[in-house]
Amino acid sequence: MSDATSDAKSESDAKSDFKPIAPRQTDEAAPTSVAPASINVIDFRRYRLARLIREASVQQGELARMMRASADERTQLAQALQGAQRHLATIADSYSHLLTRLAREKDFRTACQEAAELDDLDEMIRRRDALASELLDIRRAARPGNPCLSLAAGCDRPS
């Protein structure tokens, strides 16, 4: 308790050191019938300025928070777009590879049909063997682990 009373006493001593601001009249057209000693003028301009500064500080904090959130969103969007771009590049590469393979296998089938139409049996067997080895090369060139690119067709199947 003695601490509380001593604190209160020291605060009252500190307050006694401050001199009250002399009241002043801000409006010259104010009535003079009121005694100058009873007028307590509060400087509203300073109060409003302090309030405006505080509100501006709050708004600045909100703006900074929104800008950080916007920067985070832009970063996430950029990462998502890069991932999508990589995915699309992989798909385009796969389609390119697939189209090349399909063209080679079509050429292989055409060559098989031409070899089957030959009258010379030795030439037909030689072409068939060469084309079969080419087909094996085509299928080996298929990317491992990519089931959509493995085509299982050839002219050496029994019909």
pLDDT tens digits for range 107-135: 878 877 877 787 777 877 887 788 788 77
Question: Which conformational region is residue 23 in: left (phi greater than 0), alpha (psi within -120 to 50 degrees), or beta?
Answer: beta
pLDDT of residue 72: 96
Instruction: Give me the chain's average pLDDT, please.
Output: 74
CA dist., res. 140 & res. 136, Å (int): 6
Rounded mean pLDDT, 125-154: 66
Does residue 17 have a pLDDT over 90? no
pLDDT of residue 79: 97
Q: Where are the alpha helices (DSSP H) in 18-153?
A: 44-116, 121-140
pLDDT of residue 66: 97
Phi, psi (degrees; rounded to nearest 5) at 50: -65, -40
pLDDT band at 158, cuts 50/70/90? very low
The radius of gyration of the chain's CA atoms, rounded to the nearest angstrom, is 46
Does residue 146 have a pLDDT over 60? no
Pick from 62-66, 73-77, 98-102, 115-119: least confident: 115-119
> By the 8 A CB rule, do 124 and 116 touch?
yes
CA dist., res. 35 & res. 75, Å (int): 67
Does residue 65 have a pLDDT over 90? yes
Considering only residues 106 and 67, tell me which one the structure prediction assigns the higher pLDDT: 67
